[in-house]
């Protein structure tokens, strides 16, 4: 029987996608300034074009400023923040290595998962979601094993908790371990101080306080970490994330490894230029001021923050959902009636908190007052009678 001709799939046409310009006040992405979007529209160069190599050099220099480090290997991984986490862990961990993993939210759990996938043995230190990890518990975990590394989240996006890093490098280094820090939601909005805090590997994402679209993962390695990686007995689990090869592309050799996302690097360069123009100290102060104003407004409405004052992130604010109020309906009202996105809770905090992000160019007085007024309106529509928090927030300014 003769072969039957294959039927061609019916061709369809689609309208141009034209998304609205949302007010992004959730856990990320954060708002992207027009000049960053314009940078992404610049002509694409080859990834080994001398002009693009100069762009790469600029990015590395500005990332060192933002990370507060002199580390030679300070680059953006060509993937999202979760790839930064994976790159940090799989380069350091070899099969059988014991790693102290601190868990007080979603992203600590993700660290533990990656450690196991890399063949490591996680020694878990836990705190209740919404609380920081106790130093004494970290020290006890380090003393219970022969740790290859101590891994901890500086800014836990799922809970709004800021972890104090003071003295953790000394605890790790005294026991021969490296300190690995997740700064995805703190870099550019909080002091991270890679060199000052003795951090060996620190990674972040472009879509939070740096104010670029998601797509790259800034990461930095101390020379101690690089030496440990080069002394491995086994190959790095991931070919794509093997920093011994990636560093040669970003270093003097410019050895081909992968085709970098050109337009995303343009965006990161422009976002970092904005950070440098504002200055780190001024940027931190802006994030803190707007956080304090939001908290004042929230509390004036009769709502409660979910994290103790001394452990709160400025960039991601966790607000408790009042009893009897439907979390999802309030968020839907904000999105549909005010074009504002905020986040809900995850894991054990699902339905119990709202996550309000004030990150990058989204951390402004205007956005604080806007989200407070919108939240006031949505809560009253839901039957939760409360006063406006706008006046209390304005008083902070």
Q: Assess whether 96 and 193 both reside in one domain.
A: yes
Domain span including residue 357: 280-396
What per-residue confidence (pLDDT) applies to 316? Answer: 98
Q: Assess whether 103 and 194 both reside in one domain.
A: yes
Q: Assess whether 267 and 391 both reside in one domain.
A: no
CATH for 159: 3.40.640.10
Q: Assess whether 267 and 290 both reside in one domain.
A: no
Q: Is 84 among the domain residues? A: yes
Q: What is the DSSP string of 64-109?
A: HHHHT---SEEEEESS-HHHHHHHHHHHH--TT-EEEEEESSHHHH
What per-residue confidence (pLDDT) applies to 2? Answer: 56
What is the phi/psi pair of residue 25, to 5°?
Answer: -125, 40
Cα–Cα nearest to 182, from 246, 86, 79: 86
Q: Assess whether 259 and 347 both reside in one domain.
A: no
pLDDT greater than 60 at residue 1: no
Which tens digit of pLDDT belongs to each residue from 25-50? 999 999 999 999 999 999 999 999 99
pLDDT greater than 70 at residue 124: yes
Q: Assess whether 89 and 219 both reside in one domain.
A: yes
Q: Is 52 among the domain residues? A: yes
Q: Is 101 among the domain residues? A: yes
Q: Assess whether 137 and 231 both reside in one domain.
A: yes
Among residues 276, 295, 314, the one where a domain terminates is 276
Q: Is 16 among the domain residues? A: no
Question: Is 88:233 a contact under the CB 8 Å cutoff?
Answer: no
Domain count, the chain: 2
The region of weakest confidence among 10-19, 306-315, 358-367 is 10-19
In whole angstroms, what separates CA 360 from the centre of its chain? 12
Q: Assess whether 86 and 128 both reside in one domain.
A: yes
Q: Is 18 among the domain residues? A: no
Q: Is 21 among the domain residues? A: no
Q: Is 185 among the domain residues? A: yes
What per-residue confidence (pLDDT) applies to 283? Answer: 98
228-231 long-range contacts (CB < 8 A, ≥24 apart) are: 228/92, 228/178, 229/91, 229/92
Q: Assess whether 174 and 217 both reside in one domain.
A: yes
Q: What is the DSSP string of 142-204?
A: HHTS-EEEEEEESEETTTTEEPP-TTHHHHHHHTTPEEEEE-TTTBTTB---TTTTT-SEEE-
Q: Assess whether 261 and 338 both reside in one domain.
A: no
CATH for 302: 3.90.1150.10
Which tens digit of pLDDT belongs to each residue from 291-302? 999 999 999 999
**CA separation for the pair 395, 397 (Å, rounded):** 5
What per-residue confidence (pLDDT) applies to 8? Answer: 76
Q: Assess whether 219 and 333 both reside in one domain.
A: no
Among residues 276, 307, 323, the one where a domain terminates is 276
Q: Is 56 among the domain residues? A: yes
What per-residue confidence (pLDDT) applies to 340? Answer: 98
Which tens digit of pLDDT belongs to each residue from 132-159? 999 999 999 999 999 999 999 999 999 9
Among residues 254, 276, 298, the one where a domain terminates is 276
pLDDT greater than 70 at residue 284: yes
Which tens digit of pLDDT belongs to each residue from 76-90? 999 999 999 999 999
pTM attached to this predicted model: 0.96
Q: Assess whether 246 and 135 both reside in one domain.
A: yes
């Amino acid at each position: 029987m003769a072969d039957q001709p294959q039927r061609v799939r019916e061709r369809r046409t689609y309208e141009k996608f034209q998304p609205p310009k949302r007010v992004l006040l959730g856990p990320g992405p954060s708002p992207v300034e027009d000049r960053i979007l314009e940078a992404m529209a610049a002509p694409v160069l080859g990834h080994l074009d001398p002009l693009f190599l100069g762009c790469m050099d600029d990015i590395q220099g500005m990332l060192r400023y933002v990370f507060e480090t002199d580390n030679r290997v300070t680059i953006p991984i060509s993937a999202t923040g979760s790839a930064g986490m994976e790159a940090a862990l799989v380069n350091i961990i070899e099969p059988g290595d014991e790693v102290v993993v601190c868990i007080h939210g979603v992203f600590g759990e993700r660290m533990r998962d990656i450690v196991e996938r890399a063949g490591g043995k996680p020694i878990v230190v836990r705190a209740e979601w919404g609380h920081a990890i106790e130093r004494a518990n970290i020290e006890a975990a380090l003393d219970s094993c022969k740790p290859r590394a101590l891994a901890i989240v500086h800014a836990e996006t799922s809970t709004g908790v800021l972890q104090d890093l003071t003295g953790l490098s000394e605890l790790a280094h005294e026991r021969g371990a490296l300190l690995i820090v997740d700064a995805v939601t703190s870099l550019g909005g909080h002091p991270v101080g890679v060199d000052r805090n003795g951090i060996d590997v620190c990674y972040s994402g472009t879509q939070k306080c740096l104010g670029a679209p998601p797509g790259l993962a800034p990461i930095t390695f101390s020379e101690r970490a690089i030496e440990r990686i080069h002394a491995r007995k086994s190959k790095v689990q991931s070919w794509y994330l093997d920093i011994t090869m990636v560093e040669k592309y970003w270093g003097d050799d410019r050895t081909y490894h992968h085709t970098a996302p050109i337009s995303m690097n343009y965006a990161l360069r422009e976002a970092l230029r904005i950070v440098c123009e504002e200055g780190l100290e001024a940027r931190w102060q802006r994030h803190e001021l707007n956080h304090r104003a939001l908290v004042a407004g929230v509390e004036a409405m009769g709502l409660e923050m979910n994290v103790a004052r001394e452990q709160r992130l400025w960039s991601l604010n966790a607000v408790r959902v009042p009893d009897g109020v439907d979390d999802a309906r309030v968020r839907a009202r904000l999105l549909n009636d005010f074009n504002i996105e905020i986040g809900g809770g995850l894991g054990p905090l699902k339905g119990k908190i709202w996550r309000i992000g004030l990150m990058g160019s989204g951390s402004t007085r205007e956005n604080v007052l806007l989200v407070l007024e919108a939240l006031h309106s949505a809560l009253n529509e839901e039957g939760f009678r409360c006063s406006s928090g706008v006046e209390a927030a304005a008083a902070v300014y």
